[in-house]
Structure 1
C-alpha cells in the first residue's frame, strides 16, 4: 500500500540547504504507460493515477538558493525547467527526472556531481507581458528549445488528498539511479497553493530530447503556483 502523505512530513534533523520555488507552471501530458515504462530504471515502478501515466514539464524560478553552511547574503537565483514523471520505489512515491535545464552553470555542476541529476546549462528567460507570463529556454549548443506562454485563471487552493492534482503536485521525494543503485532525496515545504492555467502558446523540444514519445503540443493539464519555501535534505542510498 502506497502512503502518499508520509513523504510530506518533515524529516528529523537539520536540512542541507534552503531555497524558494516561485512562479511554477505545471504542464502535464498523458502518455501510454507501456510507452513510458521502458524509459525508467528497472528498479523503479511507474506510478499511475487510475491507470493513467503522466509526463510533466515544469518551468519556474529558483530563488535564494544556499547550502546550510552558506550565509544568506551569498544565496543565488536562477531559472529552471524540468521534465519529469512519477515513480514508486520501495512503496514510496516520488519524482523521476528525465532532464533539468538551468540558467546557472554552478547549479548544473553541483547537481550533477552531488546528486547525479541530469542537469543541462541553458539560456533562459522569464517575462511578464500583460496578463501572460512567458518562459523561454535554449539548451547549450542550440539543442532542446522550449517556449511557453500562459495566463493564470481560477484559484483552486491546496490539493485534496487522493485527487489527481495531489498526485501530480505533492511530491516530496526524488529518485535517481547512480552506479546501479537507487538514491533518494527529500524536500519539505507547505502544500502548493494551486491555480488553473491557460497555455496560450507552447513550443517544446525537451520531451523528445529526453527520448520520450512526442506528446500533442497542447498539454492535457496546466496549473500554476505562486511558490513555496523549501528545505532540502541530503540524498541517500
Structure 2
C-alpha cells in the first residue's frame, strides 16, 4: 500500500498522513540488547514512483513517501564494536563492513521505519546470527572499504557470496564535501537518514525493531563512480539519473529487542 502526499507549509509537499517523525528519535525506556558503532556511512538515494515500490512490500506495511515519491536507498558503511549487552567486543566478530538496500515504510500510520531488501555483511557468523535473531535478509559478501584523509575519496566494494540471488555487487567511489550538520526535521534529508525503526517478517508474522543514536552529522558527497547490481537483484529498477548522495562519519548505536507487531495470516 501507499498513500500520496499533500501540500505542506512553505510550498513543500509533506507526507500524508501526518506521521510523528520525532518520537522515534527519542530513547526508549528499556535496556538495549546490543551495541554497535556505525562508521563511514554513504547514503545513495533514488526517487521512484510509488506504484513501482509498493508491490515489493510485505502485507502489513505501507510505503512512506515524500513529495509524492518513494525512495530506494543504497547504504554502504562499516560496523565497529558490535556486541551483545554484557559481553565485550571480539575482533573479527565485532568489526565488519555492510551494505544495505532499503526503502521507507510505516505501520498503520505510525512508527516510520525501514524495510530492507538485502543487507550484505562481510562476516558469515554475523550473517547467520542476524538472520536468526532479527529476521533480516542478511547476505554474506566479500567487501572492502578504502578511506583517506579529510577531503580524500572513499571506495566501497561488495560481492555477494551466499545466499542468492547472484550476481549482486557494488563498487562506489565518493568524496565527502562541505560541513557536516544535523538534518532539519521536515526536510527530505531528515526523512531519508533519521530512521529508528526497522521491520522484518518471519513465520507468518511482522516484527519491528528499534535503534537509538544521536542525530547524524550529515554532509553532501560527490560520487565519482558507481557500478552496482544490488538493486536489480532485489527486483528494483534503478533510475538513470545520478543518486542523491549524503555522507556521515557515523554514530554510536543502541539496539533494542525485536517485537512481533502483527500476524500476517490472520490480520
For normalisation by structure 1, the TM-score amounts to: 0.96
Are 1:22 and 1:226, in contact at CA under 8 Å, matched by a contact in 2? yes
Other-structure match for 2:107: 89
2: CA distance, partners of 1:129 / 1:217: 27
Cα deviation, residue 125, structure 1: 0.2
1: CA distance, partners of 2:30 / 2:148: 43
2: CA distance, partners of 1:210 / 1:72: 32
* Secondary structure of the corresponding residue to residue 125 of structure 2: helix
* Secondary structure of the corresponding residue to residue 198 of structure 1: strand
Other-structure match for 1:179: 203
Are 1:202 and 1:218, in contact at CA under 8 Å, matched by a contact in 2? no
Cα deviation, residue 123, structure 1: 0.3
1: CA distance, partners of 2:117 / 2:66: 20
- Candidates 60, 67, 73, aligned match of 1:43: 60
- Candidates 19, 37, 51, aligned match of 1:34: 51
Other-structure match for 1:138: 159
Are 1:204 and 1:217, in contact at CA under 8 Å, matched by a contact in 2? no
Cα deviation, residue 211, structure 1: 1.1
Cα deviation, residue 99, structure 1: 0.2
Other-structure match for 1:118: 137
Structure 1 residues 55-64 or 129-138, which shifts more?
129-138
- Residue 177 of structure 2 is aligned to residue 153 of structure 1: yes
Cα deviation, residue 94, structure 1: 0.3
2: CA distance, partners of 1:127 / 1:156: 21
- Residue 249 of structure 2 is aligned to residue 226 of structure 1: yes
1: CA distance, partners of 2:67 / 2:98: 30
Q: Which has the larger radius of gyration?
A: 2
Cα deviation, residue 177, structure 1: 1.7
Other-structure match for 2:94: 76
1: CA distance, partners of 2:38 / 2:88: 19
Q: Which has the higher contact order (CA 8 A, sep 6+)?
A: 1
Deviation per residue, 1:100-150 (Å, 9 max, x gap): 000000110001111110000000001136711000000006620100000
* Secondary structure of the corresponding residue to residue 147 of structure 2: strand
* Secondary structure of the corresponding residue to residue 112 of structure 1: helix
1: CA distance, partners of 2:111 / 2:76: 25
Other-structure match for 1:169: 193
Cα deviation, residue 50, structure 1: 1.9
Deviation per residue, 1:12-44 (Å, 9 max, x gap): 121101010000000001111111110001210
5+ residue gaps in structure 1? none
Aligned length: 236
Structure 1 residues 36-45 or 65-74, which shifts more?
65-74
1: CA distance, partners of 2:186 / 2:27: 20
Cα deviation, residue 70, structure 1: 1.2
Other-structure match for 1:190: 214
2: CA distance, partners of 1:230 / 1:99: 20
Are 1:45 and 1:87, in contact at CA under 8 Å, matched by a contact in 2? yes
Cα deviation, residue 71, structure 1: 2.2
Cα RMSD (Å) of the superposition?
Answer: 1.5
